[in-house]
Structure 1
Amino acid sequence: MSPAILQLAILDFNIVQAIYQEELKCTSRWWKRIGIAEKLSFTRDRLVQNYVWTIGKNFKPNFRNFRIVITKVNSLITTIDDIYDVYGTLEELQLFTEAINRWDPKTIDNLPDYMRICFLALYNCVNELGHEILKENGCYITPYLKEAWTDLCKSYFTEAKWYYNGYTPSLEEYMKNAWISISAPVVLTHAYFLVSPSFINEDFVYLKEHSNIIHFSAMILRIANDLGTYKVFSICHSY
């Protein structure tokens, strides 16, 4: 190998690593500022893992904004998932689901403090991205993002009700909800707006009606996830 090419490769590697480090610093500052890791200590603090995952999706330096936003999205998904799975009471979860559906910070007075923190972090993150896309592309995407989050929280609440009521759904009933609760529609909706240079009306129809590419991608992720977690749960229950 030519020494010049080797030096160029090393230089390129170091530049890209510096970009990644700066992006992680940016998301870490955001994570600290919103206070979820500190105030909601029962949730998983997976910011670094979520950021590394985004590198696997889009590693090129010009996808900086994609990696930062999707890291935020995945971190909020993890937090909300833990609220529904391990901490919130059924009554609290119903109030939180209704608050997400209304999408109005003026209506969160009846939420416990930890849910207010989470709601406002999500609300600000979504509206910030919506404002950015509106400014850059002239498209108002906030309703589509809000709808994706509402669907996700409703699916989480459905699973919470199943758990609290001791109900075991049929496979068909489970999968009808589970392909949404895996969170793929939320991530893919955000990702689309972050990587597409422009949008047409048909794009919004596909997103609103959950096109097959979103549905089947989510189904694959759900099945793969359940196969993995089943093995973990089986090991845990064997002791």
Structure 2
Amino acid sequence: MQRLEARWFIDVYENSPDMKPILLEHAKLDFNMVQAVHQQDLKHASSWWKGTGLGEKLAFVRARPMEGFLWTVGGVFEPQYGHFRRILSQVGALITVIDDIYDVYSTLDEVELFTEAVTRWDINEMDKLPDYMKICFLALYNSINEIAFDSLKEEELHITPYLKKAWADLCKSYLLEAKWYHSGYTPSLQEYLDNAWVSISAPLLLVHAYFAVPNHITKEASECILDYPNIVKWSSDYKTCR
């Protein structure tokens, strides 16, 4: 990660015989200023995570808001991209929780209900879910709708259809893996890869990232995301194969 390496280089440069004091001072100021921005982003992620109650109510899930935040810093560290880091930190934490629900705790019938609720993106579907799933679904529903609301308010972009489809696709891929597991079925390599490029969560992350950074977004480009262009699929395939 660039900023951690920058800190190491500052220490090395400080002891260099040809060190220029003004350059060293500027490097330290830059590092401290950017770190202060990152700390504010982390406070936001931590506050959001605590507010969801997911870590307290769902004791079986991995509580990893810090890990998700560090992933965003590794992706985009520049101070002006705080909006990206805050959104992707939330998305990463939600992915981890939902992954644990499908893989660790739930029955097949329960994850089928959860998948249907996410696909419909209907708050009324909550009534069909077991209690422990209700808090997860509502945290997902409220967080993603809030992201979409901010986009509509600030950028006049209606992105709810793109975000909810990405979550529905992820849950469907998780459901297929759950069906394989519960039935004792071993998929072929090609079957596995055809599903894993979605279940690895890269398409979902890339869709959210697309709307989380300042850029000139058109309706045509946004519609293209719905079908996952090759650049998304190839990135996901690479992540899967690693």
| Unmatched 5+ stretches in structure 1 | 225-239
- Whether 1:151 aligns to 2:165 is no
Provide the TM-score with structure 1 as the length reference. 0.91
Aligned equivalents of 1:189 and 1:19: distance in 2?
Answer: 24
Q: Percent identity over the alignment?
A: 53
Aligned equivalents of 1:89 and 1:100: distance in 2?
Answer: 17
**Which of 1 and 2 has greater Rg?**
2
- Whether 1:160 aligns to 2:178 is yes
Paired amino acid for 1:17: Q
Report what 2:213 is aligned to. Answer: 195
Report what 1:122 is aligned to. Answer: 140
**SS at 1:42 equivalent:** coil
Superposition pairs of residues 96-135 of structure 1, within 5 angstroms = 96-135=114-153
Report what 1:32 is aligned to. Answer: 50
Provide the TM-score with structure 2 as the length reference. 0.90
Deviations 1:53-98 (A, max 9, x none): 1001000000001001100000000000000001010011011011
Aligned equivalents of 1:19 and 1:53: distance in 2?
Answer: 16
Report what 2:81 is aligned to. Answer: 63
Q: CA deviation at 1:99?
A: 0.6
Aligned equivalents of 1:48 and 1:75: distance in 2?
Answer: 9
Conserved in 2, the CA contact under 8 Å of 1:137 and 1:198?
no
Q: CA deviation at 1:196?
A: 4.0
| Structure 1 segments (4+ residues) deviating >4 Å | none
**SS at 2:186 equivalent:** coil
Superposition pairs of residues 74-85 of structure 1, within 5 angstroms = 74-85=92-103
Paired amino acid for 2:155: N
- Whether 1:5 aligns to 2:23 is yes
Aligned equivalents of 2:220 and 2:128: distance in 1?
Answer: 39
Report what 1:229 is aligned to. Answer: none
Q: CA deviation at 1:14?
A: 1.1
Aligned equivalents of 2:124 and 2:174: distance in 1?
Answer: 23
| Unmatched 5+ stretches in structure 2 | 1-18
Aligned equivalents of 1:71 and 1:111: distance in 2?
Answer: 26
Q: 1:89 aligns with which of 107, 111, 126?
A: 107
